[in-house]
Amino acid sequence: MESKKLQVAALRNGTVIDHIPSDKLFQVFNILHLESCSNMITVGNNLNSDKIGKKGIIKISDRFLEEEEASKIALIAPNAKINIIREFEVIEKRSLKLPDEVRDIVQCQNPVCITNHQPVRTWFHMLDDEDSIQLRCHYCERDIKLEDVRIK
């Protein structure tokens, strides 16, 4: 534990998003619109991780994620962990959970889907198939693999 504390500075109150795959770090950054967030933020990337090799981590002080934000992160980094910190203590560790359905978050990749042409909110159903997780568009019924998901 000691060495981890040295890698990234401690947080008093706020949220730590840990175990983000390194190549997804900046997508998570964008999902949370951290470029326009004035809170204190620490970002680390390519840190050594026993679990996933290289990982990214984001610490945001005084901010706690909305459910929708957590769903978005779950879609692109389902194995990331969210720690909620109060007074330097981790008071809650949350695993991300993929929602059963996703509305207005993911863009349909079918160029002739109605949602890409008319003001229709996108809507996907999660399909947990034997070998891969896929999202099925409620409208055009095409499937997207989880790793190919594009956030709107």
Partner 1 sequence: MKNRSLVSISDYSKEEILSILDSAADFEANPNRKTLDGKVIATLFFEPSTRTRLSFETAVNRLGGRIIGFSDAATSSSVKGETLNDTIRMVSCYADAIVMRHPLEGASRYAAEMSPVPIINAGDGANQHPSQTLLDLYSILKTQGTLEGLKICMVGDLKYGRTVHSLLMAMSHFHPTFRFIAPDELKMPVEYKSFCRKNDIPYEETAELSDNFNDADILYITRVQKERFLDLIEFERVKNVYTLKNNMLDHTKPNLKILHPLPRVNEIDQDVDANPKAYYFHQAQNGLYVRQAILCKVLNA
Q: Does 126 bind partner 1 (CB under 8 A)?
A: no
CB of 113 to partner 1, least distance (A): 5
**Amino acid (one-letter) located at 43:** V
Distance of CA 86 to the CA centre of its chain: 21
Segment interacting with partner 1, rule: CB under 8 A, options 6-14, 61-69, 82-90, 134-142: 134-142
Cα–Cα distance, 68 to 29 (Å, whole number): 15
Q: Does 98 bind partner 1 (CB under 8 A)?
A: no
CB-based burial, 10-32: b 16+ in 10 Å, e otherwise: ebeebbbbbbbbbebbebbbebb
Between 15 and 134, CB nearer to partner 1: 134
Cα–Cα distance, 19 to 117 (Å, whole number): 36
Q: Check the CA dihedral 108-113-117-122 and report its sign.
A: negative
Q: Which residues are 92's β-sheet partners? A: 84
- Containing 124, the helix (H) or strand (E) segment is strand 123-128
Q: Binding residue for partner 1 (CB under 8 A) from 28, 73, 80, 113? A: 113
Q: Does 125 bind partner 1 (CB under 8 A)?
A: no
Q: Does 88 bind partner 1 (CB under 8 A)?
A: no
CB of 97 to partner 1, least distance (A): 25
Segment interacting with partner 1, rule: CB under 8 A, options 15-23, 28-36, 91-99, 118-126: 118-126
Residues near partner 1 (CB under 8 A): 110, 112-115, 117-120, 129, 137-143
